[in-house]
Amino acid sequence: MARLKTAVLISGRGTNLQALIGACAEPSFPAEICLVVSNRPDAVGLRRAIEAGIATHVVDHKKFADRRSFEVALDGALREARVEFICSAGFMRVLTEWFVERWRDRQINIHPSLLPVFPGLDTHARALAAGVRLAGCTAHFVRTEVDAGPIIVQAAVRVLPADDEETLAARVLAAEHKIYPLALRLIAEGRVEVVDERVRIDGAAEAQGMLLSPAES
């Protein structure tokens, strides 16, 4: 079966990109990364793509007069590479309705919180300040509202008493690296459907039981 031709949009270090590259390196994985696009020429993630032999493209937002012309250039690069699907992975540009609608249900994002709580920036600081005992991450379809859209996969991560932003972020990031390739795989296998803005997954294995924090003793 043909693999889903996927582009990854980045702005920075690209560890989620790396996780996707790793997953796609498996011959049986149903998606392939055919292009990595960054809005920043200095994004470390670009090097990860080059090392993996993946085509890269920079659409530097600073070189465009407005959001629309930036998005037209981005869309053009994706279409030229015959991209079928987009994974945003630490891509730090807010996309307008024009772009989001062109790629509706063909673009996903990864966010380091259990959405719909803590959208936006500084999620870990806000989770710690709120005293939540479970944090986590979410892979979701992209909509015009930032960090919102039908949820595909989530992972919950325990917040530990000694956690600071850095330790919590690291534990959540490890979970991101698991769920993002999983979300892409489920979609590329054709098992994901958006119905009334909720995701249905065909034949998803249900993990059983509660995740307690603190654990019972």
Nearer to ligand GRF, 14 or 30 (CB): 14
* Residue 107 contacts ligand GRF per CB under 6 A: no
Coil vs helix vs strand at 126? helix
Segment interacting with ligand GRF, rule: CB under 6 A, options 10-18, 53-61, 72-80, 125-133: 10-18
Give residue 73's identity as a one-letter amino acid code. A
Nearer to ligand GRF, 110 or 135 (CB): 110
Which tokens is 20 given?
Answer: 């996707």
Site for ligand GRF in 44-83 (CB under 6 A): 45
Can you tell me the distance from the alpha carbon of 73 to that of 59, in angstroms, rounded to the nearest whole number?
A: 7
Nearer to ligand GRF, 72 or 165 (CB): 165
| 57 is annotated as an active-site residue | no
Segment interacting with ligand GRF, rule: CB under 6 A, options 8-16, 24-32, 152-160, 181-189: 8-16
Structural contact between residues 194 and 217, judged by C-beta atoms closer than 8 angstroms: no
* Residue 12 contacts ligand GRF per CB under 6 A: yes
Contacts of 88 (CB under 8 A, 6+ apart): 8, 9, 107, 108, 109, 110, 142
Residue with the shortest CB distance to ligand GRF: 90
Nearer to ligand GRF, 6 or 16 (CB): 16
Can you tell me the distance from the alpha carbon of 164 to that of 195, in angstroms, rounded to the nearest whole number?
A: 38
Following CA atoms 196, 198, 201, 206 in sequence, which dihedral angle do they give, to the nearest 10 degrees? -140
Residue 13 C-beta: closest distance to ligand GRF, Å = 4
Task: Provide the angle, in degrees to the nearest 10, between the axes of the packed helices 44-51 and 15-24.
Answer: 20
Q: Using CB under 6 A, which of 4, 7, 9, 15 touches ligand GRF?
A: 15
What one-character DSSP code corresponds to residue 3?
Answer: P
Q: Using CB under 6 A, which of 29, 74, 85, 176 touches ligand GRF?
A: 176
Can you tell me the distance from the alpha carbon of 86 to that of 159, in angstroms, rounded to the nearest whole number?
A: 31
Total residues at interface with ligand GRF (CB under 6 A): 14
What one-character DSSP code corresponds to residue 14?
Answer: -
Coil vs helix vs strand at 138? strand
Q: Using CB under 6 A, which of 110, 114, 151, 186 touches ligand GRF?
A: 110
* Residue 112 contacts ligand GRF per CB under 6 A: yes
> CA triplet 71, 152, 121: central angle to 5 degrees?
55
* Residue 155 contacts ligand GRF per CB under 6 A: no
Applying CB under 6 A, which residues contact ligand GRF?
12-17, 45, 89-90, 110-112, 173, 176
Catalytic residues: 111
